[in-house]
Amino acid sequence: MARVLCPNCNSKATITSREKQSDHVADLYVSCTNTKNCGATFVSTIAFKHYLNPPRQDTAQLAASLLRNLPKEKQLELIGV
Ligand SMILES: [Zn+2]
């Protein structure tokens, strides 16, 4: 699991809250855990970039919609019925 590091002292930092900016972008409100020497609080942005593998459901839906465009016999043949 990724963790956020303090940009000032590189210590571990704790996400205290999260503010959604859009569907795939959020601001994280973060506190440095090195309270003795730093104690900074800051905002980091996380954003979805791209899929490495499409979600399972998308793959199934894609296959289903491709199948629907084929003639019935071809559909049955591919499904293996
Ligand atoms: Zn710090």
Please give the distance, rounded to the nearest whole angstrom, from the Cα atom of residue 45 to the centre of ligand 1: 17
pTM > 0.85: yes or no: no
Per-residue pLDDT tens digits for 13-68: 999 999 999 999 999 999 999 999 999 999 999 999 999 988 888 888 888 888 88
Q: Report pLDDT for 60.
A: 83
Please give the distance, rounded to the nearest whole angstrom, from the Cα atom of residue 24 to the centre of ligand 1: 27
- Give the integer Cα–Cα distance in Å for 55 and 28: 25
Domain regions of the chain by residue span = 1-50, 51-81
Q: Report pLDDT for 1.
A: 58
Contacts (Cβ under 8 Å, ≥6 apart) of 78: 67, 70
What residues are neighbours of ligand 1 (ion), with CB under 5 Å?
6, 8-9, 11, 32, 34, 38, 40
Please give the distance, rounded to the nearest whole angstrom, from the Cα atom of residue 80 to the centre of ligand 1: 60
